Amino acid sequence: MDRHVRKVCILGAGSWGTALATLVDRASEVVLWARTPELAEAINRFHENRRYLPGIRLESKIRATLSLEEALSHAECVVFAVPSGAMREVTRLAAPLLGNAHLLVSAAKGLEEGTGLRMSQVMEEVLGGPDQRIAAISGPNLALEVARGVPTASVAAACSDATARACQALWMGPSFRVYTSDDVVGVELAGAMKNVIAIGAGVCEGLGFGDNSRAAFMTRGLAEITRLGVALGARPTTFLGLAGVGDLIATGGSRLSRNYRVGIGLGQGKCLDEILKELGQVAEGVPTTRAICLLARLTHVEMPISEALHSILFEGASVYDTLRALMMRPAKPEV
């Protein structure tokens, strides 16, 4: 997609979808599909997403609509920036209207709860099989910093090199450097599973532990999600790149990260429902914890950190006692 495109459609007008819209230079028109009339009206009236990205001015070519048909009409690129739990339904609704699209991008960092499927797998199931138009983008990309033009990098992954390069070209710019990869499995799994480890890093913060604790937790968490990723067909080096350790560093240490804030709340003794209500947005690491524990059991991969977080999130386990039990597991070599 080195050429100028007429229209890009972004399904999802949350913080990440809106941030991605600010990066698109190679299109005459960028349309955000919003789920509420209040949000769409406010974006169009004030040229700002005051609910999710207050203070970020949106160019006049960026507009919002409630109509899926209007959003997708004549769109050459369609970006799915919806929560993982909505991906199947949104893809189903969009499928009959994707005829003009040359590029379909998953920008969601999660796994489908109940199946453990990656987002591109969900899209392909709905669309009827492998689709060479699908790419996934992932990296250390906190939405507010991206929208502010703070320099960062990301990875565009696709089975087709042409598709990966088209995704790269769409967003590559002075503040957003994009690399390509053919390891779709690794990029999607790394982007999703690091959210679980970020929750644990936040727990360390909420308990008042220091940087040593958080660094150790993140490092061992990375080893754990890499084991599962490799068992599912990913390359281990992908987890050492932008979609893996890069995203984990950003997400596991920033209060801009919803998953990190979930962990902080848990460490402070708050219940999950209370934390999510305060957030007012989806924290993908919560449902993904269930999904990766399911995958771990199916593949017989040992994931004690993820299982510990599952017990804290969903089984009412004591945060302190659970972390202490992790520390007292039998001694073993690092590798």
Q: Which of 7, 61, 109, 194 is catalytic?
A: 194
Tell how far CA 327 is from the center of its chain. Answer: 29
Going by their DSSP bridges, the two strands 103-106 and 77-80 should be labelled as: parallel
What is the number of H-type helices and E-type strands within the chain?
15, 8
Please check whether residue 202 is in contact with residue 266, taking contact to mean a CB–CB distance below 8 angstroms. yes
**Residue tagged 């302190």 (tokens):** 320
Cα angle for residues 42, 43, 45 (degrees, 5° grid): 60
Handedness of CA 275, 281, 287, 289 (dihedral sign): negative
**Residue 107: CB atoms within 10 Å:** 24
The C-alpha atoms of residue 228 and residue 209 are separated, in whole angstroms, by 27
Cα Rg of the chain, angstroms: 19
Is-catalytic flag, 194?
yes
The C-alpha atoms of residue 96 and residue 93 are separated, in whole angstroms, by 7
The C-alpha atoms of residue 60 and residue 329 are separated, in whole angstroms, by 57
What residues act catalytically? Answer: 194
